[in-house]
Amino acid sequence: MLKRDDWLDLARKLDWDFSYVEEREVFPEEISGSPWLTAETWKDWDEPYRTSYTEYVKNQSIKEASVHAVRDAVGKVEDFQKHDPSWINGLKLHAATLALAEFAAVVGNLRAARFGRDSAWRTTALLGALDELRHAQIPLLIMHELVRWDPQFDWTHKFFHTNNWIAIAGRHLVDELLITSDPMEFAVGTNFVFETGFTNLQFIGLSTMAHAAGDRMFEKMVKSIQTDEARHAQIGHPVLQKIIAHDPKRAQYLVDKWFWRNWLFFAVITGFSMDYLTPLKHRTQSFKEFMQEWVLDQFKRSLEEMGLALPWYWQQFLDAIDTYHHMVYASAYTYRATTWFNFALPGPEERTWLQEKYAKTWPLFDPIWEQITNRWRKSGPGVEWYTHGATPVTFCNLCQLVLCGGSPERNSAEVITRGARKYVFCSKPCRWIFESEPERYEHHKDVVMRILSGEAPGNLFELLRYFDLTPSIWGKDVAGGRYPWMQLSKG
């Protein structure tokens, strides 16, 4: 019998010459991606980490058994009830934004499994689709148990089906990145930038914090998911190399576009968790430090190796690491009822830690928290609305998130007029992405546009209903303002 290494290459490369159809009919450019290249050009496509289907099934089965074993041991409601409430709310944020986004990635992978231009690529993408199916199911399974304890966990499944503003932003990203992109753009945006560039932040950085917080279930979940990532993420590199060889301008454009869009997503999801929702004693590094260790160095090295330039907005991005997630968190805290999870108020110890980690920029944010804290002191515990905004805010017409570019002193919002409509953007890169493909984005209605057109209500309380939120679900302060340090300071 042949050894694995002797037959695997033969089994990976199963392309044949078409005799009664044109190659362009089998792989139309519209759905296979640009630049369109002949099969001959793709022949040397290679994924360094090899997997046969038999090995895949065997390995995945072991991984599944292992997740189930941990769930049996520490995945019950009472296990989660032991954790700090802040941590639990970080879980709600992750579970909701993760589960169905992973399901959307099934679609992207399946498109590549049919329209990817090399058979080894298509096979790797097919296994990727099976991976993503699993990544959707694991959080749904684990969090389902928790719904009877805390109905906010219901949003693990519900989130992407709502008109909540974060879901609108999430769909705007996920629909383009995972559901509608062609396999070449998917390979750059998802496999290369998202999975190779960013997910280590989540799956290695955050799982380290989960370990420190004693949440073995979350740690196991993200680690198990991560073991699949490198296998299908490796599609990105060889596809990007081909685009660079034949259309370097497009390669640079796709990298620049998707790095920025993915950055904003991770800044909110992971930035909130690492710097605000993980209890201080369990924080191993700041979001910024994780970004530097797991994203910046490696991403810069990858770009250099491939002969690509750093994105044109690199300095702006470096500045944003110090500010952006702090801006969004402060903004979202004061509009917490518009979300499905609860927010922690950073106390004196947290603020000292944030000052150490963000020495240059934290002095801009500290007064905001001082003011919020003073309002809590004035109102007393339980009076959520005294530290809450009352009028709807403005959103970016590209990323659909609140206008939180720049700093508290100088917002980086930009406005353009196109036809009869004005468009506002949180930052230059968001504006640049929109203006690069305006026909793709111009008809999308952000929250404000929906209000102005009568589709959504303008009154905040009615808007909460439009966001699918009810009093038992909508976000509150995690302690209802009852912080031991707040009482102490009072005296």
Total residues interacting with another protein, rule: CB under 8 A: 20
Q: Is the peptide bond prior to 35 cis by the omega test (within 30 degrees of 0)? A: yes
By CB under 8 A, name the one of 137, 227, 352, 379 that touches another protein: 227
**Per rule CB under 8 A, is residue 216 in the interface with another protein?**
no
Residue 39 sits in the site that holds another protein (CB under 8 A): no
CB of 469 to another protein, least distance (A): 37
- In angstroms, give the least distance from the CB of 88 to another protein: 26
Give the single-character DSSP code of 343. B
Rule CB under 8 A: is residue 48 a binding residue for another protein? yes
Per-position DSSP letters for 305-317, written without gaps between them: HHTPPPPTTHHHH
Q: Which is nearer to another protein, 148 or 301 (CB)?
A: 301
**Which DSSP string do the residues of 393-450 spell out, in sequence order?**
--B-TTT-SBS--B-SSSB--EEEEETTEEEEESSHHHHHHHHHSHHHHTT---HHHH
Instruction: Check residue 134 for interaction with another protein (CB under 8 A).
Output: no
Question: Which one, 100 or 213, has the nearer CB to another protein?
Answer: 213
Candidates 60, 137, 163, 226; binder of another protein (CB under 8 A) is: 226
Kindly report the number of other CB atoms within 10 A of residue 416's CB atom. Answer: 14
Applying CB under 8 A, which part among 225-233, 326-334, 425-433, 455-463 lies near another protein? 225-233
Q: Which of 122, 237, 257, 282 touches another protein (CB under 8 A)? A: 237
In the bound state with another protein, the residue whose beta carbon lies nearer, of 131 and 256, is 131
366 binds another protein (CB under 8 A): no
Residue 157 vs 223, nearer CB to another protein: 223
If one asks whether residue 230 binds another protein (CB under 8 A), the answer comes out as: yes
For another protein, give the closer residue by CB, 51 or 180. Answer: 51
Alpha helices in 191-273 (DSSP H): 199-200, 207-212, 216-233, 236-246, 248-272
64 binds another protein (CB under 8 A): no
Bridge partners, 406 (sequence order): 411
Site for another protein in 260-299 (CB under 8 A): 294, 298
Q: Does 49 bind another protein (CB under 8 A)?
A: yes
* Residue 200 interacting with another protein (CB under 8 A): yes
Q: Give least dist CB 227 to another protein, A.
A: 6
Asked if 119 interacts with another protein (CB under 8 A), we say: no
445 to 2, 412, 448: CA distances (angstroms)? 58, 21, 8
Cβ at position 446, least distance to another protein in Å? 37
Q: Is 118 in the site for another protein (CB under 8 A)?
A: no
Q: Identify which of residues 307 and 380 has a Cβ nearer to another protein in the complex.
A: 307
Place of tokens 């002949």: 38
Which residue's structure tokens are 């989130």?
A: 159
Does residue 232 bind another protein (CB under 8 A)?
A: no
Q: Which of 204, 212, 296, 383 binds another protein (CB under 8 A)?
A: 204
**Least Å distance between CB 212 and another protein?**
15
Residue pair 326/369 in contact by the 8 Å Cβ criterion: no
Rounded to 5 degrees, what are φ and ψ at 351? -70, -35
477 contacts 343 by C-beta, under 8 angstroms: yes
Q: Rounded to an integer, what distance in angstroms lies between the CA atom of residue 406 and that of residue 424?
A: 14
| Closest approach of another protein to the CB of residue 224, in Å | 10
Of 88, 93, 101, 155, which Cα lies nearest the Cα of 332?
93
Do the Cβ atoms of 128 and 235 come closer than 8 Å?
yes
Q: What are phi and psi of 423, to 5 degrees?
A: -120, 135
**Which residue in the block uniquely carries the two structure tokens 């694991």?**
138
Amino acid at 278: T
- Which residue's CB is nearer to another protein, number 50 or number 351? 50
- Of the candidate spans 94-102, 224-232, 327-335, 409-417, the one that interacts with another protein by CB under 8 A turns out to be 224-232
In total, the chain counts a number of residues equal to: 491
Sites of contact with another protein (CB under 8 A): 46, 48-51, 59, 200, 203-204, 223, 226-227, 229-231, 237, 294, 298, 301, 305
